[in-house]
Amino acid sequence: MPQHGSCVFYGIFVFQIIRDLIFKALKQFAGSQDICHLEESVLLDIPTDRSFGDLYTNAAMFFAKQLGVAPRVLAASISIALEECDIILSTSIAGPGFININVKNEFWHEFIDEILTKKGGYSETNIKHGETINVEFVSANPTGPLHTGHARNAVFGSVASNLLEKIGYTVTREFYINDQGNQIKALAKSLYLRYLEILGSDIPDDAFGDDMYCGEYIKDLAGCLFETYNDSFINKKESEYLDILKEFSVNKMMENIKEDLELLGITMDKYTSEADLFKRKIPDEVMEILSERGDTYEGVLPRPKGIDDDDEWEERPQTLFRSMKYGDSMDRAIRKSDGTWTYFAGDMAYHLDKIKRGYSKMVTVLGADHSGYVKRLKAAVHALSDGTADIEIRLYQLVNFLENGKPIRMSKRSGNFISLRDVVDKVGKDVTRYMMISRHHDVMIDFDFEKVIECSMDNPLFYIQYAYARICSVLRHYANSFGALNEEEVRNSDKGVLSDVAELNLLKTLSFWPERVRSAALAIEPHRIPGYLQEVAYYFHALWNVGKKNAELRFISPDNRTETISRLSLLMATKIVLEDGLKIMGITPMSEMK
């Protein structure tokens, strides 16, 4: 990344030149004040109304108060500095102090070289310098196959991870396995009943308790169990088979989960087992650390709101964590009143484990139903790391599945839910992934099985893929007319012909790709990527249609190879950005629409 002076942030060379000029001008007024650290707050962007100019900056208004200089005075000074630069055509000051900048077309042409040279690396800004970060996602209980909710979690986590890598993090994609506790016991018991069924016993439906699992997959699991162990558990006491069945079912379920993730193209770097944390006595370490900080005490939890009846509520002393000290709304139990660990103790142990493995930055992706969990988790990480580690928690809303415009009802208990596998089988990996990250994580998604596979603007992924396919089509046409394309020649071609507004609009959009990736990564908001790619596709399709009216703007001029090569440079740059964006989303580009 080119670095000019001390105010360095944005990766792109020519943008940085402008930023440097702005700050150089500002420094005349700054005296001893350090203003460089505020560079990120200064906008250098394309104005909403493109007739104002190619670019604008709010620098003068932003610094006016701090420097005690009228914004228009600052603006004038910045303008003068900018106009000394030979790639800038003109500047103008508007409104309260906006500076609009017009640049030569060569300014934008620079980006083509940049993109064609760096390819996928174009969007990489190494602002985190290899720092490690842990992204925990999915972490589904190994009690059944993944369902639609997990799909959103999985895709969000994987795209977020890809984005974080783009800004220079070394990312660990991690899955936390809740492989102990009552739910696993219930799973094993459910499995046993189905197993007996296979061996000929008659099991009535009411043999399954409310907390047990009776989906079809338990029958399959029982089949596997029988294949492996035959009838060796029949007429045995629970204590003799339960542990074996627990391990068996967790292992099988995890295999199943891994296969499901594979369907979405997701591979985890690490799986951490809750049971293993307990074996390693990490919860005891948690206790030690917290006690030393004075963050634990024996006490009673306050009576919950809405329960007045003494029969329903009994105060019992137990070990508590002072999470209120760190912003939680109440202190949280570490041990139950019988002295055993709570689930939260295990979770704290897990996060202590991550801290001990060296992560000072962590991201966790959870369903919105975990909103009450956020503060205590942050509190735990803060206390356990002595404030040195930070955890970001992203909650995602539910996905509403629709068939014929009507919601499909789901009930997990009966096993009547749409599995991730069903969705991928029905619409494919790419559509599933696209739909799952096309909206802000705080917004519910309506997933309509019919609409998402339509080939129209109702289906934005199609629109993007279509742009990509058209580019590939043009490149095929080129090869037919002129033979194989020489990339070197394309890169070195004269970009002067690229001067139409439609061409420049597309190119301007491409110029902001690294910045869009950077800001999406920093905000951990993957949905900005599909939004941006739609914008690219939009300007591409517009340019395509311009060529229909004006033959001179077609990409391929059969009798002018030189100009054709120049035009193809823009197309290839567009192709690279689309490919890169789709890769971040984990979607396979289609060189041809079927």
Give the total residue count for the chain. Answer: 594
Element (H, E) at 405: none
> What is the SS3 assignment for 40?
helix
Is residue 479 a contact point for RNA (CB under 7 A)? no
Of 547, 561, 583, 588, the one binding RNA (CB under 7 A) is: 547
| Contact present, 551 and 500 (Cβ < 8 Å) | no
Question: Which tokens is 189 given?
Answer: 């018991």
| Contact present, 518 and 125 (Cβ < 8 Å) | yes
Of 80, 234, 410, 443, the one binding RNA (CB under 7 A) is: 443
In sign, the C-alpha dihedral spanning 239, 244, 247, 250 is negative
Q: Which residues of 163-200 are buried (b: 16+ CB within 10 A; e: fewer)?
A: bbbbbbbebbbbbbbbbbeebbbbbbbbbbbbbbeeee
Is residue 378 a contact point for RNA (CB under 7 A)? no
Output the CA–CA distances (angstroms, integers) from residue 257 to 42, 253, 433, in the order listed. Answer: 45, 6, 17
CB atoms inside a 10 Å sphere around CB 78: 27
Element (H, E) at 335: none
Of 80, 455, 479, 501, the one binding RNA (CB under 7 A) is: 455
Q: Which residues inside 382-441 make contact with RNA, applying CB under 7 A?
A: 395, 397, 439-440
- In terms of CB distance, is 6 or 550 closer to RNA? 550
- In terms of CB distance, is 263 or 323 closer to RNA? 323
Shortest Å distance, C-beta 519 to RNA: 4
Shortest Å distance, C-beta 572 to RNA: 14
- In terms of CB distance, is 223 or 407 closer to RNA? 407
Distance CA 187, CA 189 (A): 5
Of 180, 190, 273, 493, the one binding RNA (CB under 7 A) is: 180
Shortest Å distance, C-beta 211 to RNA: 7
Of 14, 474, 578, 582, the one binding RNA (CB under 7 A) is: 474
Is residue 294 a contact point for RNA (CB under 7 A)? no
* Residues 80-119 as x/- pattern, contact with RNA by CB under 7 A: --------------xxxxx-x-------------------
Output the CA–CA distances (angstroms, integers) from residue 467 to 329, 504, 570, in the order listed. Answer: 50, 17, 13
Shortest Å distance, C-beta 100 to RNA: 5
> What is the SS3 assignment for 176?
strand
Of 80, 234, 501, 542, the one binding RNA (CB under 7 A) is: 542
Distance CA 380, CA 378 (A): 5
The stretch near RNA (CB under 7 A) out of 231-239, 310-318, 355-363, 383-391 is 310-318
Shortest Å distance, C-beta 438 to RNA: 7
Q: Which residues inside 126-145 make contact with RNA, applying CB under 7 A?
A: 141
Q: How is residue 419 annotated by DSSP?
A: B
- In terms of CB distance, is 233 or 396 closer to RNA? 396
Is residue 516 a contact point for RNA (CB under 7 A)? yes
Burial (0-12, 13-18, 19+ Cβ within 10 Å), 312: exposed
Is residue 588 a contact point for RNA (CB under 7 A)? no
Q: Which residues inside 218-277 make contact with RNA, applying CB under 7 A?
A: none
The stretch near RNA (CB under 7 A) out of 119-127, 215-223, 225-233, 517-525 is 517-525
The stretch near RNA (CB under 7 A) out of 42-50, 161-169, 232-240, 255-263 is 42-50
Q: How many residues make contact with RNA (CB under 7 A)? A: 103
- In terms of CB distance, is 85 or 395 closer to RNA? 395
Q: Which residues inside 181-220 make contact with RNA, applying CB under 7 A?
A: 181-184
The stretch near RNA (CB under 7 A) out of 146-154, 288-296, 460-468, 489-497 is 460-468
Is residue 463 a contact point for RNA (CB under 7 A)? yes
Shortest Å distance, C-beta 331 to RNA: 8
Of 498, 544, 570, 582, the one binding RNA (CB under 7 A) is: 544
- In terms of CB distance, is 360 or 519 closer to RNA? 519
Closest to 381 measured CA to CA, from 359, 344, 352, 353:
352
374-384 and 343-356 helices, crossing angle to 10°: 50
Q: What phi, psi does 92 have (nearest 5°)?
A: -145, 150
Q: Which residues inside 317-376 make contact with RNA, applying CB under 7 A?
A: 318, 329, 332-333, 336-338, 342-344, 368-373, 375
Is residue 442 a contact point for RNA (CB under 7 A)? yes
Shortest Å distance, C-beta 543 to RNA: 7
Shortest Å distance, C-beta 489 to RNA: 18
In sign, the C-alpha dihedral spanning 319, 325, 327, 329 is positive
* Residues 50-79 as x/- pattern, contact with RNA by CB under 7 A: --xx--x-x--xx-xx-----x--------
Strand boundaries in 96-142, DSSP class E: 98-103, 132-136
- In terms of CB distance, is 196 or 242 closer to RNA? 242
Q: Which residues inside 557-586 make contact with RNA, applying CB under 7 A?
A: none
341's CB contacts (< 8 A; 6+ apart) are 278, 283, 334, 335
Distance CA 156, CA 122 (A): 23
Q: Which residues of 429-463 are buried (b: 16+ CB within 10 A; e: fewer)?
A: bbbbbbbbbbbebeeebebbbeebeeeeeebbbbb
Of 236, 316, 356, 426, the one binding RNA (CB under 7 A) is: 316
Shortest Å distance, C-beta 181 to RNA: 3
Element (H, E) at 321: strand 318-321
Of 24, 554, 561, 583, the one binding RNA (CB under 7 A) is: 554
- In terms of CB distance, is 170 or 481 closer to RNA? 481
HSE-CB for 48 with a 13 A CA cutoff: 0
- In terms of CB distance, is 147 or 233 closer to RNA? 147
Shortest Å distance, C-beta 8 to RNA: 15
Specify the pairing of strand 361-367 against strand 390-396.
Answer: parallel
- In terms of CB distance, is 17 or 250 closer to RNA? 250
Distance CA 186, CA 212 (A): 5
Closest to 273 measured CA to CA, from 344, 179, 187, 347:
179
